[in-house]
Structure 1
Amino acid sequence: MSGGAAILVRGAGVAGLVTAVTLAERGAKVTLAEAGSRIGSGASWMAGGMLAPWCEAADAPREVTEHSLGSLSWWRSHVPDVESNGSLVLAPARDTAEITRFGRRTSHFEEIGAEEIARLEPDLAGRFSRGLFFPEEGHLDPRKALPALADRLVRLGGRLLLDQADMPASAGFDYIVDCTGLRAREALGTLRGVRGEMILLRCRDVSLHRPVRMLHPRIPVYIVPRADHLFMVGATMVESENAGPMTLRSMSELMNAAWVLHPGFAEAEIIEMGTGLRPSYPDNMPLVTQEGRTVFVNGMFRHGYLLSPWLAARAADLIFG
């Protein structure tokens, strides 16, 4: 198949956008069709945007780390404002044993004490005596990165079509790449939804320079800094297919984690609360599969931003050989 193939990519979440750009960079004539009225209308918009392959090794199969080592450099070469300040892992005083557990299951970190924590994050000075610092990790703001990818696709000669739930597959395309997440369940019957939850806070009294993971025996919580004193606070995963409003318990846990990190968050403004369902296979590992002229890229679980560049390259290799 030559690079000038006409390809329809369905779904403009992180998987669809990264795949569309990758195919266009390989010379394909790409049409990206999104069922919603904007890009990233699913779980991709609610994500933390952490590019943390080493931290993810605490609970994910080793393949997640192996296949995501190039993700930070990929994103830095494709979108602006990608931060490479590492990740910080902390725990409340009563849960410091969780730091030891986390360290046993990960690598590429530095064990640090109160003085180093204060140097990395001055606003946390005197609040924590022990932590782990992962200097090779980074993060991005999905709400800036996804539009930047869409712009890049158009500059590469691709088309972006919104409100296209029924874009016909027979409209002169050589290949279809399906990145529609849970909407592909009929063809990919083993998919399940894993609920993700987030609160977006604005707090002018706190400054952070990198994502902070607050460990807890039941549910770890991360706090990711964004521009204009915004902070995304999220839970890594909840085994539920309920896509409804956030529960009182979840909201309390997220806000309490922020307050434990720094009491200044008690005066934070709640800008937004949201939930999303992440498409996941039974083993929580994504797959690139092919049925005739249709290639499926799906099952991102909580690793969409980490693994999309690798999965997109696999999809392109299937198509171009």
Structure 2
Amino acid sequence: MDVIVGGGVVGLSIAWRLARAGRPVTVVDPAPGRGASYAAAGMLAPVSEVTYTEVPLLRLGVASLRRWPGFAAELADDAGLEPGGLDLRSDGTLDVAFGADDMAVLDEMAAYLDKLGLPVERLTGRECRRLEPMLAPSVRGGLLAPGDAWVDPRRVTAALLAALERRAVPVVRERAAGLLHDGDGAVVGVRLETGGELRAERVVLAAGAWSTELAGVPVRPVKGQIMRLRSPQPLLGRCVRGAVHGASVYLVPRGDGELVVGATQEEMGFDTRVTAGGLYELLRDARELVPGVTELEVSDVVAGLRPGTPDNLPLIGPSGTQGLVYATGHHRGGVLLAPLTTAVLMGEESELAALCAPGRFRDFS
């Protein structure tokens, strides 16, 4: 039996794929679907979020994005949902600029992406507002990444839990307090906080920011605060992002009129408090992009902990300890990279697996 420690979108996706393949599997998490996945906006945007130093992460993201339509269709069917039940949308991301300096950065990024074979469309301010009429008049121009997408992570985790229930996969709603080892040091199971034990042929550590507490992996919590607003009608037709006051802000629309605004990035340890300052910054910056957000109802505020690694790449694959596999450290990309993570662990992406192999951190693998 495989034991998956972690019930976020990554851990649940792994459990689902293993169950579909006929392997016995159990998930351990005190509150499945209520961690970083619950706070996430669900942007599937490897192109619009690219940076010059993270080409390996871009490769992983693009490969995983290609898998998302099939992943979503199979999951919806397995969970008994109607097609489109996960609110997966592929209308692209619009990255906007307010001044000449911002436009120069976007132009440089467009040239860079073109060299990588990932062309984007340059737009004037007027063209941006034609696409999104609610944008501020001060928007000078932008880039449209037409291949980017987004999904509702809360629907995804709910669907994964439903699919696992339909396949009679046990979900143990307890915290994993430690790993069980045999006399040779191999991992042979999990010790639960209540004192119980689960024996396993393999333990997959997908506990996000809490992974380091179980295995000492180089993963740290990165706090992100997110605000959800509600409108009778969708305010935007696609994801919109931009740099305001030196920080990146994004707005992600849902089909039901919800608008997700995020996100702060704070090195605050395991602090998950929602703060007035964090929400003020989000709303202030979002208003610069779309002035109408200040008229919307606030429906939810939440803070989650992203699992960051030193190089911002996830840890996916066998550890240096027999019986222990890592699937953690996805930072801001857990939702995007969930299909690829399962593929790597199923042996379907051998070339890309090298980019996220835990062995690159020799002291921890």
Mark yes or no: TM-score above 0.5. Answer: yes
Map residues 70-219 of structure 1 onto 2, 5 A cutoff.
70-79=63-72, 80-93=86-99, 95-106=102-113, 107-124=118-135, 128-165=139-176, 169=190, 171-186=198-213, 187-204=215-232, 207-216=235-244, 218-219=246-247
Shift of 1:64: 1.3
Q: In 2, are the aligned partners of 1:206 and 1:264 still within 8 Å (CA)? A: no
Question: Match of 1:207, SS?
Answer: coil
Corresponding letter in the other structure for 2:297: E
Map residues 1-321 of structure 1 onto 2, 5 A cutoff.
6-36=1-31, 39-58=32-51, 61-79=54-72, 80-93=86-99, 95-106=102-113, 107-124=118-135, 128-165=139-176, 169=190, 171-186=198-213, 187-204=215-232, 207-216=235-244, 218-235=246-263, 237-241=265-269, 243-288=271-316, 289-290=318-319, 291-317=321-347
In structure 2, the gaps of 5 or more residues are 73-85, 179-188, 191-196, 349-365
Corresponding letter in the other structure for 2:41: G
**RMSD, aligned CA:** 2.5
What residue number does 1:3 align with?
none
Corresponding letter in the other structure for 1:29: P
1:265-287 deviations in Å (ceiling 9; x for gaps):
12122222221221111111111
1:273/1:60 Cα in 2 relative to 1: closer, same or farther (>3 Å)? farther
1:146-171 deviations in Å (ceiling 9; x for gaps):
11122223334423232354596364
Shift of 1:81: 2.0
1:265/1:134 Cα in 2 relative to 1: closer, same or farther (>3 Å)? same
Identity across aligned pairs (percent)? 32
Question: Match of 2:165, SS?
Answer: helix
Number of residue-to-residue matches in the alignment: 311
1:147/1:15 Cα in 2 relative to 1: closer, same or farther (>3 Å)? same
Q: Distance in 2 between matches of 1:14 and 1:279?
A: 13
Q: In 1, are the aligned partners of 2:234 and 2:256 still within 8 Å (CA)? A: no
TM-score, length basis structure 2: 0.77
Shift of 1:317: 2.8
In structure 1, the gaps of 5 or more residues are 1-5
Question: Match of 2:330, SS?
Answer: coil
1:96-128 deviations in Å (ceiling 9; x for gaps):
444335435544311012343234223338553
1:125/1:99 Cα in 2 relative to 1: closer, same or farther (>3 Å)? same
1:313/1:87 Cα in 2 relative to 1: closer, same or farther (>3 Å)? same
Q: In 2, are the aligned partners of 1:98 and 1:217 still within 8 Å (CA)? A: no
Moved more, 63-72 or 223-232: 63-72
Question: Match of 2:300, SS?
Answer: strand
Q: Distance in 1 between matches of 2:249 and 2:299?
A: 18
1:26/1:234 Cα in 2 relative to 1: closer, same or farther (>3 Å)? same
1:217/1:69 Cα in 2 relative to 1: closer, same or farther (>3 Å)? same
